[in-house]
């Protein structure tokens, strides 16, 4: 039986798409093996959000070639879309596929025999209206699945390459989303995470909306939780907040990119809100859903970010009632307006600012976990057991550890939270954790 190894860089959307490619190989009689094991074919689905992602891609290709007999190497995804010739120039690469071509891999190969020169199939995504359906589980879990409902982006943030790599915003029709969700429920998943490049933009061009999709999905029998992945602040509407508050199946958890806590930097980033808008949104969520988990993306070291602007961001975030931070160090990306702005921040200063904000984020995560101690919350128990302990997430995205013998994998169980440490809670199951 031929063997294929797959590896993903980047976001949950990429993971969902890689899983779909993996199913195509499985249907054709391939055995899926861990990346790093000997394989006949290696597929690397790339990201190009940061320069680090580019470097990781090159390292992975070389790693694949060091394992066993020389495999047939396929590189696809955002880095392949943006820099196809650069990817093709890496020794050992056989096939380079763009964003549109990734789901048609078998159309571009008659067999996986290495040739003398790589083949490149990358088309212009500027007017791409195709939609490659995709879903995946997390690390092989049968608890949480990621369902791609949207792709592409119409925004013009000055630092971002995603519109260049994925094209215009487009949505999968609600009927197809529901069919795939039903399949996931039949396969045993308890939670579905709706993912995409700009999920809040879902349905705009097909006469639907994210609220409409959520209202339809909550009616699916057997589906216990629906979680929304990252959503732009200008698209997190009062109607959406209301839908989350009204429907017990929709997780009380929002991940809302901020990127900077200073209006002058937000303008240079071409973001679509001010810090006052963002603060008002967070306050509106807290009024309606006091226990909601709220995550924030922030970028440090954007071109021209002065010490005063950075300090303003730090103060803004310190005062903001959110649960955790995802902190990114700005990385110059080719063909973006930000890369041509000048006034680059010294890399060492970018990293120092990143470290300070990460420490702030850890404090916020710990404070939010501590605020949950004494409450009884439902936890979706995961498969992994370590030191006789099993863990899982509450619907408001607190990781909880509890005795493994008190709960079964893939069950939703009430847990009384007794202690918070390092941003997560421990607790005791308050009743049997049988099938949920």
Divide the 436 residues of the chain into consecutive groups of 10 and give the mean pLDDT of each group.
Answer: 90 85 92 90 84 74 77 91 88 89 90 86 77 64 86 95 91 95 92 96 96 98 96 98 98 98 98 98 98 98 98 98 97 92 96 98 98 97 92 97 93 96 96 48
- Cβ-in-10-Å burial (0-12, 13-18, 19+) of 384 comes to middle
Residue indicated by tokens 């941003």: 423
Question: Which parts of 194-274 fold into alpha helices (H)?
Answer: 210-217, 238-246, 263-269
User: CB-side exposure of 364: number of CA atoms within 13 Å?
Assistant: 22
How far is CA 60 from each of CA 15, 25, 56, 81, 109, rounded to the nearest angstrom? Answer: 16, 20, 6, 17, 22
* 3-state DSSP assignment of residue 103: helix
pLDDT at 141: 58
Residues in a beta bridge with 137: 145
How far is CA 401 from each of CA 31, 309, 380, rounded to the nearest angstrom? Answer: 34, 39, 11
Strand 150-151, strand 144-148: pairing: unpaired
CA distance 247 to 372: 21
Tokens representing 78 are 């955002």
pLDDT at 436: 43
pLDDT at 435: 40
CA distance 400 to 164: 39
pLDDT at 100: 86
**Nearby residues of 419 by Cβ (< 8 Å), 6 or more positions away:** 373, 425, 426, 427
pLDDT at 125: 78
pTM assigned to the model = 0.88
Q: Which domains, ranges and CATH numbers included, belong to the chain?
A: 3-121 (3.40.50.12160), 128-251 (3.30.750.210), 253-272+280-371 (3.30.750.200), 376-429 (2.40.50)
Residues in a beta bridge with 74: 43, 95
């Amino acid at each position: 039986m031929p063997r294929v190894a797959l590896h993903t860089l980047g976001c949950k959307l990429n993971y969902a798409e890689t899983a779909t490619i993996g199913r195509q190989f499985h249907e054709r009689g391939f055995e899926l093996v861990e990346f790093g094991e000997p394989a006949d074919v290696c597929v690397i689905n790339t990201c190009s959000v940061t320069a680090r992602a580019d470097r990781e891609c090159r390292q992975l290709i070389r790693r694949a070639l060091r394992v066993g007999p020389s495999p047939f190497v396929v590189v696809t995804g955002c880095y392949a879309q943006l820099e196809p010739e650069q990817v093709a120039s890496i020794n050992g690469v056989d096939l380079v596929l763009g964003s549109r071509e990734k789901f048609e891999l078998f159309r571009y190969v008659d067999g996986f025999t290495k040739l003398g020169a790589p083949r490149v199939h990358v088309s212009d995504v500027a007017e791409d209206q195709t939609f490659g359906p995709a879903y995946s589980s997390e690390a092989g879990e049968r608890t949480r699945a990621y369902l791609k409902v949207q792709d592409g982006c119409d925004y013009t943030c000055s630092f971002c390459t995603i519109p260049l790599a994925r094209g215009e915003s487009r949505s999968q029709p609600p009927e197809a989303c529901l069919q795939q969700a039903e399949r996931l429920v039949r396969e045993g998943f308890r939670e579905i995470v709706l993912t995409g490049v700009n999920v809040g933009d879902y349905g705009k061009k097909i006469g639907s909306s994210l609220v409409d999709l959520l209202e339809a999905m909550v009616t699916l029998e057997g589906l216990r939780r629906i979680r929304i992945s990252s959503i732009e602040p200008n698209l997190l509407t009062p109607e959406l907040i209301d839908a989350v508050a009204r429907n017990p199946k929709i997780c009380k958890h929002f991940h809302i990119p901020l990127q900077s806590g200073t209006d002058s930097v937000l303008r240079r980033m071409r973001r679509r809100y001010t810090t006052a808008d963002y603060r008002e949104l967070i306050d509106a969520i807290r009024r309606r859903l006091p226990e909601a988990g709220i995550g924030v993306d922030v970028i440090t070291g954007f071109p021209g970010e002065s010490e005063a602007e950075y300090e303003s961001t730090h103060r803004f975030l310190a005062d903001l009632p959110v649960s955790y931070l995802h902190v990114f160090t700005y990385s110059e990306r080719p063909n973006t307006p930000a890369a041509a702005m000048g006034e680059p921040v010294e890399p060492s200063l970018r990293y120092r600012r990143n470290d300070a904000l990460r420490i702030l984020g850890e404090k916020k995560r710990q404070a939010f976990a501590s605020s949950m101690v004494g409450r009884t919350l439902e936890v979706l128990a995961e498969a992994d057991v370590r030191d006789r302990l099993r863990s899982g997430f509450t619907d408001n995205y607190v990781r909880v550890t509890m005795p493994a013998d008190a709960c079964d994998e893939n069950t939703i169980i009430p847990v009384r939270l007794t202690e918070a440490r390092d941003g997560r809670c421990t607790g005791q199951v308050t009743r049997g954790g049988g099938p949920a």
